Amino acid sequence: MKIYNKLNTSLILNKTSSYAVEKSTSNTFKLMLNAGKKIAEQICSNYKKRKTLIICGVGGNGGDGFVTANELLNKNWKIDLVIIGSKSNIKGDSLKALNKLKIMPRKFEDINLNEIELFVDALFGLGLSRNINKKTSQILSIIDKHKAPIVAIDIPSGVDSNSGEILGYAAYCELVITFTTLKYGHILLPGYEKYKKIKIENIGITKSTLEKIFPKININNKNYWLKDIKWPKMSDHKYSRGYSLIVGGPKNMTGAARLAAKAAQRSGSGIVCVASEKDAEQIYYISLISQIVKSYKNLKEFKDIIEDKRINSILIGPGLSENNNSILKVKSILKTNKSVILDAGAISCFKGKLHILKKIILDKEVVITPHEGELKAIMPQLNGNCIDKALKASSELKCVVVLKGATTVIASPNNKALVNFAGAKWLASAGTGDVLAGIICGLLSNKMEKFQASAFGVWLHSEIGKYLGPALTAEDIPKNINIVYKNY
């Protein structure tokens, strides 16, 4: 999927913020006229003149379609237009646009579809919140199966702009033309898969207006972390580059910590140590080469390891058992006041004990890296899409939350988040989450800020996944971190 953005902003808006932006101008009809003009310009720049059917709804999206029809007629395009729904329901700006329409709307069933070479979907925009009816679904299905490409105004009809969910049916669009910013439905699955490319047009909304919008949700990209990467200096040694400690799992679950340890070192830690339970130490000793292994028999010896003043960051969770002993380890680690990443078992062990987790991470340097199941285990009350959940969790826990999934969200307690696009599908493999936690741990050991380290770590992890592609396993990721690093 390709994004073309005339405003040069990576901002993503939910439905509420989108409406607030529109209402910030006193002349909304002018916005509609601007939108129709921009849509027509994009259609002309992407397609040769051809017989086009514009399918309009009775809301604002339909109004954009009416203006687009006039603009294309002015450019000598052959246009047919149909309205799906009762014309009596057309109000406000859309009614103004309809009254200026230069052609008579026709019925869909009267259109000779064999003549149509391009469809413009102006049925439903951002306001759709219910399943579309059977008749409309059938029309969308017909044009979806037609050989002519589809251009959607704002968002493919049938896609919920707030969640990306399909509300009945949505046709695949070759091009989406939206305005001012991306919307949640453009980037969240399955809506994200319903178009090939998207173009974002400026219809008169200023950047100063957008700066007032909260929450601040942006696409995860290098502008947010590139300058914060801590590259080695000529004078550095292994300890000055950063010391990461990975808490190893028990004898039957050592793989996760080993993956994380290798990833931490590859991502920048000058030295990595694994804290191993005594009965698992031989596995770590034999399988790890450039990483240190320190074993312990009890909690006192564990505390002696984690209290080493040279340690900069600690990761606990990969392979960790979900029990009270694990909670004691987490509590001990947080008392060290080092940068801490809680992953997997270090999150799940607080199921039903959220009040304890909140208390012990308060005012600490903490990143948690749950997938949706782990987050739901400790915060079952969360609802909404993955962006909403990550923001709510980060606000309540007062720490950085990396909510892992096909679309990964990095959220901070100050109502900001970065969204990493879906696309690295080969990362859906056992152990890749442990590697991500290790990467972030390594970056934190370099003294990179929590939010930036998390965002860069997620991006790096995703890029390696796309680079490696088919047959990827978790073990491949640390080995290839340098390939992506070299490009920066």
DSSP string, 314-359: EEE-TT---SHHHHHHHHHHHTTTSEEEEETHHHHTTTT-HHHHHH
- Amino acid, res. 365: E
Q: Output the six-digit token pair for 472.
A: 């990827």
Burial grade of 359 (CB within 10 A; 0-12, 13-18, 19 or more): exposed
- Provide the pairing of β-strand 182-183 with 195-201: unpaired
What per-residue confidence (pLDDT) applies to 33?
A: 98
Q: How far is CA 46 from the centre of its chain?
A: 28
Q: What H or E segment, with its residue span, contains residue 4?
A: strand 2-5
Beta-bridge partners for 134? none
Angle between the 28-46 and 60-74 helix axes, to the nearest 10 degrees? 50
| CB-CB contact of 141 with 166 (8 Å) | no
Torsion, Cα 137 140 142 145, to 10 degrees, reads -120
> Taking the alpha carbons of 443, 449, 454, 460 in that order, is the dihedral positive or negative?
negative
How far is the C-alpha of 421 from the C-alpha of 194, rounded, in Å?
14
Structure tokens at 95: 């009614």
User: How far apart are the C-alpha atoms of 486 and 488, rounded to whole Å?
Assistant: 5
CA–CA dist 291, 284 (Å, integer): 9
pLDDT of residue 4: 64
- The sign of the CA dihedral 114, 85, 180, 28 is positive
Q: Are 121 and 142 in contact (CB under 8 A)?
A: no
* Structural domains present in the chain: 2-213 (3.40.50.10260), 222-485 (3.40.1190.20)
Task: Render each residue's pLDDT in the chain as its tens digit; 488 residues.
Answer: 566 665 556 899 998 899 888 888 889 999 999 999 999 999 999 999 999 999 999 999 999 999 999 999 999 999 999 999 999 999 999 999 999 999 999 999 999 999 999 999 999 999 999 999 999 999 999 999 999 999 999 999 999 999 999 999 999 999 999 999 999 999 999 999 999 999 999 999 888 888 888 899 999 999 999 999 999 999 999 999 999 999 999 999 999 999 999 999 999 999 999 999 999 999 999 999 999 999 999 999 999 999 999 999 999 999 999 999 999 999 999 999 999 999 999 999 999 999 999 999 999 999 999 999 999 999 999 999 999 999 999 999 999 999 999 999 999 999 999 999 988 899 999 999 999 999 999 999 999 999 999 999 999 999 999 999 999 999 999 999 999 988 76
| Phi (first) and psi of residue 343, to 5 degrees | -130, 160
Closest CA to 257 of 325, 341, 335, 375: 341
* Bond preceding residue 149 cis, omega within 30 of 0: no
Rounded CA separation 159/224 (Å): 29
- The residue among 283, 295, 291 whose CA lies nearest residue 266 is 291
Q: How far apart are CA 233 and CA 76, in angstroms?
A: 63
Cis-peptide, bond into residue 232, ω within 30° of zero:
no
Strands 243-247 and 313-316: parallel
Q: Look at the block and give the residue holding tokens 């219910």.
A: 130
Distance separating the N- and C-terminal Cα atoms of the chain: 23
pLDDT score of 19: 87
pLDDT, residue 256, reads 98
In this predicted structure, what is the pLDDT of residue 20?
87
Q: What is the spatial distance between Cα 262 and Cα 253, in angstroms, rounded to a whole number? A: 16
Task: For residue 355, give every residue at least 6 positions away whose Cβ sits within 8 Å of its Cβ, in sequence order, or none.
Answer: none
Q: Which residues contact 362 (CB under 8 A, 6 or more apart)?
A: 398
What per-residue confidence (pLDDT) applies to 206? Answer: 85
Q: How far apart are CA 164 and CA 385, in angstroms?
A: 9
DSSP state of 109: G
* Rounded Cα gap, residues 382 and 394, in angstroms: 11
